[in-house]
Structure 1
Amino acid sequence: MKNISEVVLKPIRPERVIQFGEGGFLRGFVDWMLQKLNDQTDFNGSVVVVQPIEQGMCDALEEQNCVYTHIMRGLENGKPKVEKQIVDIISRTVKPYEDYNKYLELAKNPDFRFIFSNTTEAGIAYVPEDKLTDTPPSSYPAKLTALLYERFKAHLDGFLIIPCELIDKNGETLKEIVLKYARDWELGEEFITWINTENHFFNTLVDRIVTGYPRGEKTDLEYEDAMLDTSELFHLWVIEGDTSFQSELPFHEIGLNVIWTKDELFKYRTRKVRILNGAHTSLVPYAMLKGFDTVKECVDNSALNAYLRACIFDEIIPTLDLPEQELKDYAENVLERFANPFIVHKLSSIALNSVSKFKVRVLPSILEYIKRFDKMPAHLLTAFGALIRFYKTDMANDSADVVEFMKNADTQAILKKTDYWGEDLSFLYDEVSKYDH
């Protein structure tokens, strides 16, 4: 069987994008979208991938000319759907740990306009030991600062910098750290002014389950592809910042679910945390106590599906401040994603650290519901009771001190534990105690 590089003739396009990270998520999200821009608009650009750490997959990408297949699988209107896309947008890869000068040379190409990244949640971090003279510095923000300094010295335009790391205010945080390095390294006020005026950092929210290489599955490809990537059909990208730049990345013109917003990212983040993550956390202890194993099993069960829908539509959505129909459409999409027959999502993997997750994902909906409607949200409090009961079993997976306390304390003591909940929740006792045994 031929390799994909022998089957696909990759076009030569101007290098316009620098991308820090070569993992499945960026290839199944950002690169897939950029491919669609190339195919359906006059974007006409390619991506240079920078391997942000010493070990990575750039060699494997290069072995097949940086071309790969992306397969999306899921339900659409209740029916299974599979889409395949050959992605040829990556022109080449650069490995700073092997050739740092080659990395810095990227700064001197005036065609580069965009920088995307996904260096994991730990990637956007300040490492005080990093120096400009390191080849390379260890952290992503330090590497980026060094690249920006080369760009500045070359008297070229700045970048649109769009990180995809899963931290709050990712763009603002990245910019703050870059500015700190600029000051630490004494690179001058002119450079700092150039960062602030000629470069634009965006906060983002990304949402897509990317499942990577489908090990042990048949793929029906007619060629070898070691970098095959898979994901669900759903995708959402919210980009917060100066919305005048969306014309340079016209995702919205080709029907992609990309929302540009000046300052309302928090609403979309809250929607995701309360509905998608909140549904998971409301469901998992309750379902595991009943012997269920996967998310799909739960939504396929009529009783659990009804419980989940009541949590979401009756008690979570009424506490949120986005248009009601938009929230309902998103929730229906979430439930369809949960039912995806191509993804085996174990309840036990979601159950990790359920106490801290409950505080962030579910408790705000409970408190807001009581505040707005002056009554108790019965289903979410059922979930709270199930959480307490879940920790009395051996299924709970949390830090040793949390497991010990939750296992041995009574419900009243648990509700009073302000360290866990941020406030005394004793007033919920009558309702929660109905469901904690």
Structure 2
Amino acid sequence: MTTPILQFGTSRFLQAHADLFVSEAMEAGKALGPITIVQTSGDPARAGRIGALSATEGFPVIIRGLEDGQPVERALRVRSVVRSLSTSSDWAEVKRVFVEEARVVISNTGDTGYSLLDGDSVDGVPRSFPMKLLALLHARFRGGRMPLTILPCELVSRNGEVLQQLLVELASRHTPDATFVSWLSERVIWANTLVDRIVSEPIEPAGAIAEPYAIWAIERQSGLTLPCEHPCIKVVDDLTPYARLKLHILNLGHTLLADRWLKDGRSEMECVKDILADQAVREDLMTIYREEVVPGFQMHGFGAEAEAYVATTLERFANPYLDHRLRDIAGNHAQKIVRRLVGFQDWCPGVSMPRLSAIAGR
């Protein structure tokens, strides 16, 4: 079966996000077609997942959480994935699918997905994801195929532009072909995207448990091809409001709660929903949202959007089914404070933020 969607990454996030959206859209006749999933890490511990993702019966995704204050639970079956490959063992087939079938490429390769490795090249099977992608794009270019749309889902600001710049630089060094470099720059569609859904647990060997809330915001540009039509996919003129709301309300809230958890020396097993059951903690968070965060967004004309997103965020935090442990959120805490708190202060000069300043100062 031809697969016009090629996905790099087997994460539980993509299973409950892009893969689920395409599956639901296929049922409604609103998708380009099915998906080939490619494992880029070569991790043998995930070999079982590879086969299970493309099983004929599909894999489960369970949606659990609150919608309009009411608990919901839905068991779904994802059947959009019909082929699963690994770059370590199936490189020739990965290249064939990329060259001959793909119209849209999706990636979610983790926090270090854009990192390069010393001595890596486009010869043989490259080791890093950027070099793998470069080799595949070069093969497609040499094959005379049409350009395609690339939809990176890594949590990188302006991820499409960042990935494009990286690949153009790599192409200039490793494939001295000016025509190919121009093709990458001018013909391939590198979309900036923002993804948001908390996927709390894996289901073995494939599947996931996720919250009801989900969005996939994709910045509009000429020539953009979408994998499907779906209510959670929004094509927007500017990602900035969506990115700022997520970073400086949802992510900032997580960091504030993690900071309180660290400062108080609370239980290793405590989750977001548990710490918010402490009325003093909840009141502190609400005060910061109300007196420091929302006024910052008001300065930029997004006050109403911020108030609505705060309400949505608090409902997501209160999800009774979600075991989102604070010890996990507290990883790389200092860096998160800089990006989420200090970055917000820098974006909103002149807005009084004494509580955020005190936390950032520690």
After superposition, the Cα gap between the structure-2 partners of 1:228 and 1:42, relative to the gap in structure 1 and judged at 3 Å, is closer
What does residue 255 of structure 1 align with?
A: 231
After superposition, the Cα gap between the structure-2 partners of 1:367 and 1:18, relative to the gap in structure 1 and judged at 3 Å, is closer
- With CA pairs under 8 Å and 6+ residues apart, which has the higher RCO, 1 or 2? 2
After superposition, the Cα gap between the structure-2 partners of 1:146 and 1:210, relative to the gap in structure 1 and judged at 3 Å, is same
Amino acid corresponding to residue 194 of structure 2 in structure 1? L
SS in 1 for 2:241: helix
Question: What is the CA RMSD across the aligned residues, in angstroms?
Answer: 2.6
User: Is the CA contact (8 Å cut-off) linking 1:73 and 1:233 kept in structure 2?
Assistant: yes
Aligned: 1:283 with 2:262: no
Distance 2:295 2:331 in 1: 28
User: Is the CA contact (8 Å cut-off) linking 2:21 and 2:228 kept in structure 1?
Assistant: no
What does residue 283 of structure 2 align with?
A: 306
- Show the 5 A alignment for 1:222-301: 226-242=205-221, 245=224, 248-249=226-227, 251=229, 254-256=230-232, 258-262=233-237, 264-286=238-260, 289=264, 291=266, 293-301=270-278
Amino acid corresponding to residue 334 of structure 1 in structure 2? T
Distance 2:228 2:319 in 1: 29
TM (norm. structure 2) is 0.88
Deviation for aligned residue 1:294: 2.8
What does residue 329 of structure 2 align with?
A: 350
Unaligned segments of structure 2, at least 5 residues? none
- Show the 5 A alignment for 1:361-372: 361-365=340-344, 371-372=350-351
Identity %: 26
Deviation for aligned residue 1:249: 4.3
What does residue 157 of structure 1 align with?
A: 146
Unaligned segments of structure 1, at least 5 residues? 1-12, 215-224, 389-414, 421-437
Q: How many residues align?
A: 354
SS in 2 for 1:49: strand
Q: Which has the larger radius of gyration?
A: 1
SS in 2 for 1:371: coil
What does residue 38 of structure 2 align with?
A: 50
Distance 2:327 2:49 in 1: 32
After superposition, the Cα gap between the structure-2 partners of 1:351 and 1:188, relative to the gap in structure 1 and judged at 3 Å, is closer
What does residue 136 of structure 2 align with?
A: 147
Distance 2:6 2:217 in 1: 20
User: Is the CA contact (8 Å cut-off) linking 1:274 and 1:316 kept in structure 2?
Assistant: yes
Deviation for aligned residue 1:355: 3.6
Distance 1:131 1:370 in 2: 45
Amino acid corresponding to residue 176 of structure 1 in structure 2? Q
Deviations 1:46-88 (A, max 9, x none): 1111111221535434257432011111111122111221111
After superposition, the Cα gap between the structure-2 partners of 1:122 and 1:68, relative to the gap in structure 1 and judged at 3 Å, is same
Aligned: 1:82 with 2:73: yes
What does residue 13 of structure 2 align with?
A: 25
User: Is the CA contact (8 Å cut-off) linking 1:19 and 1:117 kept in structure 2?
Assistant: yes
User: Is the CA contact (8 Å cut-off) linking 2:189 and 2:223 kept in structure 1?
Assistant: no
Deviations 1:18-64 (A, max 9, x none): 11111211111111111122122332501111111221535434257
SS in 2 for 1:15: coil
SS in 2 for 1:362: helix
Distance 1:152 1:368 in 2: 41
After superposition, the Cα gap between the structure-2 partners of 1:209 and 1:190, relative to the gap in structure 1 and judged at 3 Å, is same
